[in-house]
Amino acid sequence: MTAFVLALGLMGLAALQMTGTRSTYSAEKRSQASMLADDMIERMRANRTVACDGGYDIGLDSTPRTCDQAVCPSTPVENSDLCQWKKRLRCSLPSGDGAVGRSGNSVTVTVQWDDSLGLSGNSSQQFVYATGL
């Protein structure tokens, strides 16, 4: 009987450890998504005129891409910024992708990734950051 109670307790501890690990993984990816969204907002604020004219507007890719080492163009600045940002999304987050939408001086940055290893079990997660330029 004692062995059964001990085994049950150890199984409970193992489940608790696994839940904690999945929560940590999910939180790490959400933090990375937040930082990457903020990165794009700051890039747009540095190039405000082009951003307000829609130069940074971009949608989510229809097919998730993997991390690549493609060289980004150096000009114009907005193309370089978008290319570098999309590359960082793909390399930092599983199936990472992002979108930028604008309405006047208001901007919405969406970061999407696969969080199937995280706590929720839902494969597609999004972080949406809305702010003014």
Please write the tens of the pLDDT for every residue from 22-67.
Answer: 777 788 889 999 999 999 999 999 999 999 999 999 999 876 677 7
Where in the chain are the domains?
2-132
State the chain's mean pLDDT as an integer.
86
- Structure letter (DSSP) for residue 132: E
The pLDDT assigned to 112 comes to 94
pLDDT surpassing 80 at residue 108: yes
**Confidence category of residue 97, pLDDT binned at 50, 70, 90:** very high
In a 3-state reduction of DSSP, which class is residue 74?
A: coil
Residue 120 pLDDT > 70, yes or no? no
- How far apart (Å, rounded) are the C-alpha atoms in residues 33 and 125? 10
Distances (CA, A) of 116 to 25, 41, 125: 10, 27, 9
**Whole-angstrom distance, CA of residue 36 vs CA of residue 38:** 5
- What percent of the chain has pLDDT above 90? 52
Percent of the chain with pLDDT over 70: 93
Q: Does pLDDT of 18 surpass 90?
A: no
Long-range contacts of 75-81 (CB under 8 A, 24+ apart): 76/50, 77/47, 77/50, 78/47, 78/50, 78/51, 81/40, 81/43, 81/44, 81/47, 81/56
